[in-house]
Amino acid sequence: MAAKVAVLGATGAVGREVRRLLDERGFPLDGEPILLASERSAGKRLPWKDGEVEVRAVGPDAFDGVDIAIFSAGGGRSREWAAVAAEAGAVVVDNSSAFRMDDEVPLVVAEVNPEAARRRPKGIIANPNCTTMVLMVAAKPLHDAFGLTAAVATSYQAAGGAGMGGITELIDQTAKLVNDPDRLRTDGAAAEASVDTGNFSKAIAFNVLAHCGSFDDERYTDEEWKLVNESRKILDLPALRMSPTCVRVPVVVGHGIQARLSFSQPVERDAVLAALEGAPGLQIVDGVGTGGEPLAYPTPLGSAGIDDVLIGRIREDLGDPYSINVWVVGDNLLKGAALNAVQIAELVAAED
Ligand code: A2P
C-alpha cells in the first residue's frame, strides 16, 4: 500500500539522503513526500525526481494525513514533534537519540531485529546511533554463530556525524590550515587557535579528538554510552560487557570501528569468515597483501556513498582464543542513519 511520507529535517545532511533513497529505492509513496524543516527553510525548493518540492516549516498541522514521518532534525525537535505526529496517526521513524532507550520504543537495525519494529505502543520506532548501527550489522551474524559476551570497541567517527555543520567546520578549518604546513608542524597550538570551532571542542582538521559528545561523571561520553546501551538493547543482551571509546577524526563521511569481540566459545578466523559470508548488508573486504593475496581493507572513503557496511582486518586475538579483532566501516549518513530509517519505513509500509 502506498504511504504518505513526511521528512522532518529534509534540508539536513541525513534528510538529503532520505529524499534520495525514497526515490532511488522505489519506496511505495503516496504522492510527493512532505518536506519539513525550520522556519528558516520554509518556501525553499528542494529537488524531487524531475521537479522540486517546497519545504514547509514544521507545525501542529504538518502531520495531518501522514502515514510515516521520518525525523532527522535532532533530539529537541523529536521530543517536540514525535508525539504530535503519532497523535495525527503517523508512524514516526526517529533518527535522534530522544527515544532510543524508551522501553516502549523499539530500536531497530533492519538486518538485525526487524521484527521489533512491529511492537511500537507509542507509534515511534527509533533508528540507532550511527556508530552502534555499523557495529551491529557485523556483530549480529557473529553473535548468532558464537554467542557474543563482550566487546572492546573504539570508533573513528567522521565529522559528518555532527551533520552539515560538522562537515562545513572540517572543510573550512582544512582550507585555512592547509596552506601553512610549517605552522602545523612547529606550532600546533597556534594553528589550532587560528581556526573557528563550534561543532567540536577542539580543531578537527589535521587532528584526532578522543571526544565525541559530552562527558559524564564517570568520564565516559554520551556517545560512548549510546554504543553500550543501544548494542545491549538491539541484540537483547542486557549483560553484554562493553568497553567503548569514541574518537572523532577529520573524515567527511564513514565511521570506522575497531572491535575486539569475545564469545562464549573459542573462535577461529575461518569460522568467523564462514559466519560473515552472505550476512545481509555486509561486505567482507579482507586481504593483507601477503603471499599474493590482494591488499584490501575497509576505509571511510571506500564506504562513502555505499549502502553496505564493510568488514576487514579479521584476526584471531593474540591473547584470547575466545576473541577476534575486526575493523568495520560504514557510511554514517547512509546505513548509519538515512538508509536504515528508510528501511524501517519500508518495513512499516509493507505491513498488512
Ligand atoms: P533547517 O535547514 O531549516 O535549519 P543537519 O543535521 O545537517 O544539521 O540538519 C538538521 C536538520 O534539522 C535541518 O533540516 C534543519 O532545518 C532541521 N532543523 C533544525 N532546527 C529545526 C527546528 N527548530 N524545526 C524544524 N527543523 C529544524
pLDDT of 226 reads: 98
Asked if 349 contacts 97 with a C-beta cutoff of 8 angstroms, the reply is no
pTM of the model: 0.96
Class of domain 132-163+201-332: alpha beta
Mean of the per-residue pLDDT values of the chain: 97
SS3 of residue 284 by DSSP: strand
Ligand 1 pocket: which of 7, 35, 38, 170 to mutate (most atoms <8 Å of CB)?
A: 38
Closest atom of ligand 1 to 10 CA is 14
Q: Tens digits of per-residue pLDDT, 86-138?
A: 999 999 999 999 999 999 999 999 999 999 999 999 999 999 999 999 999 99
Half-sphere exposure for 20 (CA within 13 Å, toward CB): 13
Answer yes or no: is the C-beta of 38 below 6 A from any ligand 1 atom.
yes
240 dihedral zone (left: phi>0; alpha: psi -120 to 50; beta):
beta
Describe the crossing of helices 339-349 and 13-24 by its angle, rounded to 10 degrees: 50
**Minimal CA–CA distance to 3: which of 22, 34, 31, 29?**
29
SS3 of residue 88 by DSSP: coil
- Which residues of the chain are in CATH 3.30.360.10 domains? 132-163+201-332
**Minimal CA–CA distance to 3: which of 36, 35, 28, 40?**
28
Answer yes or no: is the C-beta of 160 below 6 A from any ligand 1 atom.
no
SS3 of residue 107 by DSSP: strand
Nearest CA to ligand 1 atom 8: 163
Closest atom of ligand 1 to 41 CA is 3
Answer yes or no: is the C-beta of 78 below 6 A from any ligand 1 atom.
no
Q: Tens digits of per-residue pLDDT, 132-177?
A: 999 999 999 999 999 999 999 999 999 999 999 999 999 999 999 9
pLDDT > 70: percent of the chain = 100
Helix residue ranges, H only, 268-326: 269-276, 300-303
Q: Tens digits of per-residue pLDDT, 60-80?
A: 999 999 999 999 999 999 999
pLDDT > 90: percent of the chain = 99
Architecture field, domain 5-127+337-349: 3-Layer(aba) Sandwich (3.40)
Model confidence at 352, pLDDT cuts 50, 70, 90, reads confident
pLDDT of 96 reads: 97
**Minimal CA–CA distance to 101: which of 7, 225, 9?**
225
pLDDT of 1 reads: 79
Q: Tens digits of per-residue pLDDT, 223-279?
A: 999 999 999 999 999 999 999 999 999 999 999 999 999 999 999 999 999 999 999
Residues tagged active-site: 130, 255
Asked if 272 contacts 142 with a C-beta cutoff of 8 angstroms, the reply is yes
- Which residues of the chain are in CATH 3.40.50.720 domains? 5-127+337-349
Q: Is the dihedral of CA 265, 270, 276, 277 positive or negative?
A: negative
- 323: Cβ–Cβ under 8 A, 6 or more apart, which residues? 150, 260, 261, 262, 263, 267, 316, 317
pLDDT of 70 reads: 99
